[in-house]
Chains A and B, each alone.
Chain A
Amino acid sequence: MPVSYYIVLSAVLFTLGALGVLIRRNALVIFMSVELMLNAANLAFVAFSQLYGTLNGQIFVFFVMTVAAAEVAVGLALIVAIFRTKHSINVDEISSLKG
């Protein structure tokens, strides 16, 4: 089957993730949408890795997963810290720089 099927699916998933970042107000759902975008990029990496018969793309997916895990740990800690001071994780209500 042509590789373009996987790339188009990856593009659709990435767009849905970007749309989620734009339209949702819940900071946790925004984080989940970012994860969706990372997964879409990973899918394209693995598809091209299979197409060209090299493992380098899969190694990159491995690194992307590590960075995503680190990002989620720090990001969720930030959300918890914001929730402690603001008592909300609605991104519309977190609009002032002064705590």
Chain B
Amino acid sequence: MTADILLFLILAVVSIASALAMLFSRNAIYSALFLILNFGTISVFYLLLGAPFLAMVQVTVYAGAIMVLFLFVIMLLGAEQLRSTQTIPWQQPLAFLLGAILLAETVYLFFTIGDQGAALPSITALVSDFGSPTAIGELLFNQYLLPFEVTSVLLLVAMVGAIVLTKSEKKAGDLRAAIERPLGNLPPE
């Protein structure tokens, strides 16, 4: 029991510290790297909570694919650091105040309405196949088959959308010109 709480507290400190570091580092590359550390700690939380499959998905999809995409775009645009433009002077203090209010409301609501006595099972008492890929797959392909299929359509739409958005207009013009060019103008072999 104490091992649970000790592990949780250490990981929670790392998680919150990396989130704060992501927020306040001036360089976007550092932000992305701190976010990867944060995703790693959340993946360990998933392991503690009996979700080994989700922990692996978290590492491969979030820390792997999504963050590599982020780093790729940051380096492609060369947008590591922006020159500071502060148009509204009271915006940051107001943001901090609103964030504090949001946190206080959430914690207050949870501690007054929620079931405080609810205790998680100890990590040593985990059922071995709870959260395994087999169990998740059975639930996904029986009860959640329609959402699963809709998700595949969503991914297809996102893929087509990303390609259309980043397609260079000049390239399309070149292609059309190449198609419409008379055959006699072809360069000699």
Interface of A is mostly: helix
- Identify B140's interface contact among A17, A32, A62, A79, CB under 8 A: A62
Total contacting residues, chain A, CB less than 8 A: 69
Known: A72-B66, A77-B161. A46 touches B73 (CB 8 A): no
B172 at the interface (CB under 8 A from A): no
Name the residue on A nearest B121 (C-beta).
Answer: A50
CA distance A76 to B131 in the complex (A): 32
Interface bin, chain B:
35 or more
Give residues in B with beta carbon < 8 Å to A. 1, 4-5, 8, 12, 15-16, 19-20, 22-23, 28, 31-32, 35, 38-39, 42, 45-46, 49-51, 53-54, 57-58, 61-62, 65-66, 69-70, 73-74, 76-77, 79, 82-85, 87, 91-92, 95-96, 98-99, 102-103, 106-107, 110-111, 114, 116-122, 130-131, 135-136, 139-140, 144, 147, 151, 154-155, 157-159, 161-163, 165-166
